[in-house]
Each structure stands twice: as C-alpha cells, then as structure tokens.
C-alpha cells in the first residue's frame, strides 16, 4: 500500500554521442509517497502530473524544478468508490486517467467516468453507472469525446457535450467477451483505434463503420497491458504484455519490401518523415489482414520473461517498465 511516485532524468537527447548513443545513467530527481498502487499516470502539463490510485483517489502532483521536489497539488478523494464515498473502505480502484489540460478524465473498477478540471475542486461531470463492468482504460478521441474499454470486450465512445449518461456508440469483440485492457487512437486518422486485451490479441477498429474490429492480429501469449501508436510516426505501433514481450509493429512503406515474419530482436526499420504518411500507409492498418500486405513485427526484448507492464514512446525514444522493478530507456528505436 505504501508506494512512491518518482521523477527521473533519462538524460538529454541533445548531447548524445556520435553514434546516437547516450552516455550517462538515468537518475532519480525526486519522489513522493503515494497511498495505494499507482494504476495509471499522465502529465497534465510541463510540471504537473495526474496519478490514479487503487484506493480510488486521483491526485495532481507538481514537480518543482527549481529545487527538485514533488508535492501534492490537488486531490480528489475516492473519485471512484463501490458503496458510497463516505465509508472508510469503499474506494474502488481508479484504473485509467487521461489529460487534455485543463480537463482530466478518470475511469474505474466501479464503472464510473469522472470529468475533472485541474482548477476546480468538484467534478465537472460524473457518469455514475457508465458501465456495469470494470472500465480498464480511457483516451480522448476528440476534445469533447472519449473512448473507454471494459472487462467484457466493449469499446465505447462518450460525447461529453451530451447530458445523456449513455455512450454515443458501442463496439464489441464478436463472440466471447474477452476483457480489453488498453486503447489508443491513431494520432492523424482519428477513426483508427487500436485495443489490446486479456488474450494478447491486437484489435484494429474503424469507428466510422460497423461495430466489430476490422482486423484481429495474433500478438502476445498473455494479457496485453499497453498499446501505443507512435505520436509522430503512426505507421509504427508498440504493444507490451504479461508474457514479457514488447512488440514493434511496422507498417511503413519500406516494410512491404521485406518478407513478413517475426524478427527476433532484428532492427531494419527506417525512420520515416511526416511527408510519407499517405493513404496507402493509413490503409495498411485497415486492410483485412495487414500482415499479408506489409507489416514487420519485431520483439524488442526477446529474452525477457517478466511482465512488461507499461510503455511510452516519443521521437526515437521508448521507455518501458517491467515486473523486475526496472525502468528501461531505449533511445535508438529507429536506428
């Protein structure tokens, strides 16, 4: 129950060596006590971050860069709860948080959706019975719409402008209700959404059509914990799993010229600029079987056995955390 939230310096990318490799170890700048397990976290702005707790509380921490300290800036006690907010043990885990400053959306085991503003004490909006099952993750689709995934294999769109407490659209995996754990939307083509779940499958959805995924891709052998499109190169997607693997999915145009098979730790991906994002690249995600057309899949950590619980990606940098209680930074994603 006694955990810590920490800020690390992973080093300045600007002073990398000639080969692009960075010299110097990541080091801890500051940390602060956190009550309950950290279920999710996201930066709100340059110095504030929002942290979701298993106790149901949501906290904004401020990073004071002048003296390298962290302080609790604001807290919504028991934003998520099972019985009522006042019982001492009634908290329900807050499973996901997403920020679009100043707005913060949280979801939880109690099936609740909260919309907070960083500068307001009370919730702007709460959808109490948004879901009868656990909501596992949330992300913004547009500034006024969010996507949630739940424990019975459903992807839902919520329009926060509507006063109705119902989703505007519901999508679901056919047949067996496999819990979905993670969701991300394509940064440029907002109708393309990726989800991952209990069975390790990667699902690609086109929310403009149908209520089922356009493609289901065999991926991991256990739960998929996180899925992320690269924010500036979305023909690259990253997934990580309980089975200890972290996969890089490459649908870029040059991937089509290579045989499509799983490379064990091999790297042959070229770094693509914005200008190459054309219709054919986009449709690679939406074709019935993207692996047939062109997709190269690389396991970036082939010999890992412990669960890879979280990942994030920016520029040539990939950061991930594992059950070995270690944080890894890979700075040569496209080398």
Residue-wise pLDDT for 231-278, tens only, equals 999 999 999 999 999 999 998 866 545 444 333 333 333 233 333 333
pLDDT band at 140 (very low <50, low <70, confident <90, very high): very high
pLDDT for res 1? 64
Q: Are 250 and 298 in contact (CB under 8 A)?
A: yes
Number of C-beta neighbours around residue 89 at 10 A: 8
**Residue 99 in tokens:** 């920020």
**Residue 284 in tokens:** 């690679």
- Gap between the Cα atoms of 256 and 291, Å rounded: 10
Q: Is the pLDDT of residue 172 over 90?
A: yes
- Gap between the Cα atoms of 277 and 292, Å rounded: 20
- Gap between the Cα atoms of 43 and 158, Å rounded: 22
pLDDT for res 91? 87
- Gap between the Cα atoms of 98 and 52, Å rounded: 10
The arithmetic mean of pLDDT across residues 12-37, rounded, is 73
**Low-confidence winner among 79-88, 122-131, 265-274 (lowest mean pLDDT):** 265-274
This prediction has a pTM of 0.86
- Gap between the Cα atoms of 32 and 71, Å rounded: 7
Q: Is the pLDDT of residue 68 over 90?
A: yes
pLDDT band at 295 (very low <50, low <70, confident <90, very high): confident
The arithmetic mean of pLDDT across residues 113-131, rounded, is 94
Q: Is the pLDDT of residue 313 over 90?
A: yes
Q: Is the pLDDT of residue 23 over 70?
A: no
String of b and e for 108-138 (b: at least 16 CB within 10 Å)?
bbbbbbbbbebeeeebeeebeebbeebbbbb
pLDDT for res 258? 47
- Which residues are paired to 263 by β-bridges? 298
pLDDT for res 81? 93
pLDDT for res 226? 98
More reliable by pLDDT, 140 or 10: 140
**Residue 11 in tokens:** 């080093």
**Residue 229 in tokens:** 């499109």
Give the mean pLDDT of the chain.
Answer: 85
Q: Are 193 and 207 in contact (CB under 8 A)?
A: yes
Question: Which pLDDT tens digit goes with each residue over 189-226?
Answer: 999 999 999 999 999 999 998 889 998 999 999 999 99
pLDDT for res 2? 77
Q: Are 20 and 335 in contact (CB under 8 A)?
A: yes
What is the share, in percent, of the chain residues with pLDDT greater than 70? 82
pLDDT band at 281 (very low <50, low <70, confident <90, very high): very low
- Which residues are paired to 106 by β-bridges? 97, 114
Edge-to-edge strand list for the sheet holding 113-117: 94-100, 103-108, 113-117, 125-127
**Residue 84 in tokens:** 């009522």
pLDDT for res 263? 38
- In sequence order, which residues have a C-beta less than 8 Å from that of residue 272 and are 6 or more positions away? 233, 235, 252, 253, 254
What is the share, in percent, of the chain residues with pLDDT greater than 90? 67
Nearest to 64 by CA among 75, 72, 76: 72
**Low-confidence winner among 19-23, 60-64, 103-107, 165-169 (lowest mean pLDDT):** 19-23
**Residue 168 in tokens:** 């505007």
- Gap between the Cα atoms of 64 and 206, Å rounded: 42
> 209-215 long-range CB contacts below 8 Å, 24 or more apart?
210/171, 211/169, 211/170, 211/171, 211/172, 212/171, 212/172, 212/173, 212/174, 213/171, 213/173, 214/286, 214/288, 215/285, 215/286, 215/287, 215/288, 215/289, 215/290
Q: Is the pLDDT of residue 282 over 60?
A: no
pLDDT for res 255? 53
- Gap between the Cα atoms of 128 and 201, Å rounded: 30
The arithmetic mean of pLDDT across residues 37-49, rounded, is 96
Q: Are 128 and 116 in contact (CB under 8 A)?
A: no
pLDDT for res 193? 97
């Amino acid at each position: 129950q006694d955990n810590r939230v920490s800020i690390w310096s992973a080093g300045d990318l600007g002073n990398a060596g000639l080969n692009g490799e960075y010299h110097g170890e990541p080091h801890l700048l500051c940390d602060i006590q956190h009550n309950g397990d950290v279920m999710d976290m996201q930066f709100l702005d340059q110095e504030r971050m929002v942290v979701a707790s298993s106790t149901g509380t949501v906290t904004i921490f401020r990073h004071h860069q002048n003296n390298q300290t962290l302080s609790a800036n604001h807290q919504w006690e028991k934003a998520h709860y099972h019985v009522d907010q006042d019982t001492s043990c009634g908290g329900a885990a807050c499973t996901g948080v997403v920020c679009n400053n100043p707005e913060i959306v949280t979801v939880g085991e109690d099936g609740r959706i909260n919309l907070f503003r960083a500068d307001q004490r009370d919730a702007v909006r709460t959808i109490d019975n948004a879901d009868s099952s656990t909501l596992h993750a949330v992300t913004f689709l547009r500034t006024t719409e969010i996507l949630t995934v739940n424990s019975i294999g459903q992807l839902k769109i919520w329009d926060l402008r509507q006063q109705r407490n119902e989703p505007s659209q519901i999508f679901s995996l056919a047949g067996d209700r496999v819990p979905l754990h993670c969701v991300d939307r394509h940064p440029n083509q907002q109708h393309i959404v990726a989800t991952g779940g209990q069975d390790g499958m990667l699902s690609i959805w086109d929310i403009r059509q149908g209520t089922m995924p356009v493609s289901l891709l065999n991926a991991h052998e256990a739960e998929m914990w996180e899925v992320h499109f690269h924010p500036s190169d979305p023909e690259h997607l990253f997934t990580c799993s309980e089975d200890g693997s972290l996969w890089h999915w490459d649908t870029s145009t040059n991937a089509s010229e290579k045989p499509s098979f799983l490379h064990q730790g091999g790297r042959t991906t070229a770094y693509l600029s914005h200008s190459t994002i054309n219709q054919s690249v986009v449709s690679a995600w939406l074709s019935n079987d993207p692996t047939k057309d062109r997709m190269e899949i690389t396991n970036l950590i082939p010999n890992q056995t412990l669960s890879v619980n979280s990942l994030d990606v920016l520029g040539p940098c990939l950061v991930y955390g594992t059950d070995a209680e270690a944080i890894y930074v890979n700075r040569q994603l496209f080398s």
